[in-house]
A and B are shown apart, each in its own frame.
Chain A
Amino acid sequence: MLELPQIYAENIHRWLPELLYYSLMTLKIGFFSFIVAVVFGILVALCRVSKNRLVRTLAIWFIEIGRGLPIVVILYIIYFVPPQLFPGLNWTWFSDFTGAVLGLGIHGGAILAEVFRSGIEALHKGQREAAMSLGMTPAKSMVYIILPQATRIVLPPVGNYAIGLLKDTSLCTLIGVNEIMNGAKSIAFSDYQPMAVFILVAGIYFAMSYPLSLLVRALERRLSTAQ
């Protein structure tokens, strides 16, 4: 432990730029898979509360499977299975990055679908009825009345999900994405300094997730005073 400052003093000028470069990938995966997860989540939540039974059932199964499997399993399946299923197609566009974003996005979609559904259902049915009695179609009442309110309700759990997602991007190292954990491993073992490197990595993760955490808290405060 005592020699850590010494080690950092000697190596940080090499490690830090490299790790920061890799952490850009982490942020990129986090960002894009968050978008995919939110889009999937909203679509599946709307299906989940649909009047059509088949649509509802499909949504339920998507949710159950998506959150019932470990993320790693989803990543492996998304990344390795399609090329094997359809070997005739051209898979060069399907990078480990694409696989990572899709895999995390699908898993997140299942988690968020339930969050969004509970947000929608938390609203008193009087809100929907008031909207409909004014002549709104179900779709308009969803867009102008229900979703804006549901957004406030779901903001805290969605924020927590985003923070969790940032950390879960580390799993993408397992399908070979060059994100920060992957970079850290190679530095740690080529320089024989696992302790120093991984502590540094922990610091970088924290430096990414803590501002996110503050942002979520600030948003929550703003939304709660906005009404």
Chain B
Amino acid sequence: MSKAGDGAAAGQPLLRIEDLQKKFGDLEVLCGVSLNVARGEKVSIIGPSGSGKTTLLRCINYLEKPSAGHIYIDGTLIGEKKSGDRFIHLTDRELARERQEIGFVFQRFNLFPHLTALGNVTVAPMRVLNLSREAAEARGRDMLQKVGLSHKADEYPERLSGGQQQRVAIARVLAMQPKLMLFDEATSALDPELIGEVLRVMRQLAEEGATMVIVTHEIQFASEVSDRVIFMDQGRIVEQGLSREVLFKPKEARTREFLKHIQDR
């Protein structure tokens, strides 16, 4: 969105997270997470339940307000702006503008049940980007085709399988042409036989050069798709590095333990 950001792009990460902290009451869920993601990079986040992975993703698009720390996308602060040396929160309208650039794929899809598959994909381009219906539908059909669901454009979500619903949810995000896509365990609410079709779509996006942050328990998938893997535990990044190193030659005992636990499952 900010042209200034694009100009300075070459060297600077697309996503920069600085010392992010999040507390729910007394519970410290994120205890200072810092992370850079380059344009076109795929980063997978793994870690035990309750380690703060979802919370981290939700902070990135400000569905959750961080308790401390800052997030930048393309050099633009997310959720706040600087006034002098103070940070002030954005208005709802400004925040909504920033969120257009960040796609979020939820574990439970969260499709809009009152809209068809095509309606789900076109509602934001029409109502947020103010595209005409024709333009939005053309774009929406392209996106549905991309996820292999052209033939389901007129179905309502309740008549789609979980895997199909999740693919519509991905198409819905793609239709906004986000700079960054966040996936929160996109396959863990699915029956095992439906996981493959969603991973296939995600893999294709990765190959096309999308910038993706993926929370997942699919170790095989993470190793194939991501450039980098991050292991989180108790609100901290415990280990990070190239995916094959973290996944197959972890340095930290906790990482090894977690990976072993997941493989035994």
Residues in A lying within 8 Å of B, measured CB to CB: 124, 126-127, 129-140, 144-145, 148-149, 152, 227
A149–B120 alpha-carbon span in the complex (Å): 13
Across the interface, B114 reaches (CB within 8 A) one of A138, A139, A148, namely A148
- Taking A129-B63, A133-B63 as known contacts, 6 extra A-B pairs with beta carbons closer than 8 A to each other, sorted by chain A number, are A126-B106, A132-B96, A133-B99, A134-B99, A144-B127, A149-B112
> Quick check: is B158 within 8 A (CB to CB) of the other chain?
yes
Does B108 touch A at the CB level, under 8 Å?
Answer: yes
Knowing A130-B110, A145-B112, A227-B156, say if A136 contacts B124 (CB, 8 Å): yes
Q: Which residues 31-68 of B sit at the A interface, judged by CB distance below 8 A?
A: 61, 63
- Asked if B231 is at the interface (CB within 8 A of a chain A CB), the reply is no
Size class of the B contact interface (CB-based, 8 Å): 20 to 34
Q: Would you call B225 an interface residue if the criterion is a C-beta within 8 Å of the partner chain's C-beta atoms?
A: no
- Whether the Cβ atoms of A135 and B113 lie closer than 8 Å is no
Complex Cα spacing A124 to B157, Å: 15
Q: Establish whether residues B92 and A137, one from each chain, have CB atoms under 8 Å apart when the complex forms.
A: yes
* B138 interface hit (Cβ, 8 Å): no
Decide yes or no whether B100 CB sits under 8 A from chain A.
yes
Question: Which residues of A are found within 8 Å of B128, using beta-carbon distances?
Answer: 134-136, 140
Q: Contact at A130–B100, with CB atoms within 8 Å?
A: no
Q: Which B175-224 residues have a C-beta within 8 angstroms of A?
A: 176
Task: Tell yes or no: B141 within 8 A of A by CB.
Answer: no
CA distance A190 to B59 in the complex (A): 75
Cα–Cα, bound, A140→B97 (Å): 13
Q: Is A138's CB under 8 angstroms from B92's CB?
A: yes
CA distance A152 to B156 in the complex (A): 15
Distance of A166 Cα from B241 Cα, bound (Å): 70
Cβ B156 vs Cβ A134 within 8 A: no
Interface string of B88-108 (1 = CB under 8 A from A): 000011001101101110101
Bound complex: CA A130 to CA B110 (Å): 6
For B102, the chain A residues whose CB sits under 8 A away are 133
Determine if A227 and B158 form an interchain contact, defined as CB atoms under 8 angstroms apart. yes
Whole-angstrom distance from the CB of A189 to the nearest CB of chain B?
Answer: 53
List chain B positions with a Cβ less than 8 A from chain A.
61, 63, 92-93, 96-97, 99-100, 102-104, 106, 108, 110-114, 123-124, 127-129, 156, 158, 172-173, 176
Bound complex: CA A99 to CA B11 (Å): 70
Task: Please report the C-alpha to C-alpha distance between residue A219 and residue B129 in the assembled complex, in whole angstroms.
Answer: 33
Cβ contacts under 8 Å, A145 to chain B: 112, 123
- In the bound complex, do residue A136 and residue B113 qualify as a contact, i.e. CB atoms below 8 Å apart? no
**Neighbouring A residues of B111 by C-beta, 8 Å:** 130
What is the bound-complex CA distance between A98 and B183, given in angstroms?
56
A selection of 22 A-B contacts at a CB cut-off of 8 Å is: A124-B110, A130-B111, A130-B112, A132-B99, A133-B99, A134-B128, A134-B172, A134-B173, A135-B128, A136-B96, A137-B96, A139-B92, A140-B96, A140-B127, A140-B128, A144-B123, A144-B127, A145-B112, A145-B123, A148-B114, A152-B114, A227-B158
Closest B residue to A223 by beta carbon equals: B114
**A99 to B124 Cα, complex, angstroms:** 44
A170 to chain B, nearest CB (A): 37
With a cutoff of 8 Å between Cβ atoms, the chain A residues found around residue B173 in the complex are 134
Contacts of A126 in B (CB 8 A): 106, 108, 110
Q: Are B110 and A127 in contact (CB under 8 A)?
A: yes
Give bound CA distance, A145 to B126, whole Å: 13
Residues of A within 8 A of B96 (CB): 132, 135-137, 140
Residues of A within 8 A of B172 (CB): 134
Name the distance in Å between B146's Cβ and chain A's nearest Cβ: 17
List A contacts of B93 (CB < 8 A).
137
A135-B124 CB under 8 A given contacts A126-B108, A129-B63, A130-B106: yes
Question: Which A residues are CB-close (under 8 A) to B103?
Answer: 133
B63's partner among A132, A136, A138, A148 (CB-CB below 8 A) is A132
By a CB distance below 8 angstroms, the chain B residues around A130 are 104, 106, 110-112
Nearest-neighbour CB distance to chain B for A171, whole angstroms, equals 37
**A127 and B100 contacting across the interface, CB-CB below 8 Å:** no
Chain B residues, Cβ within 8 Å of A144: 123, 127
Q: What are the 6 tightest A-B residue pairs by CB atom distance, in nearest-first order?
A: A135-B100, A130-B110, A134-B124, A133-B104, A126-B110, A135-B128
A135 touches B112 (CB 8 A): no
In Å, the complex CA distance between A129 and B156 comes to 20
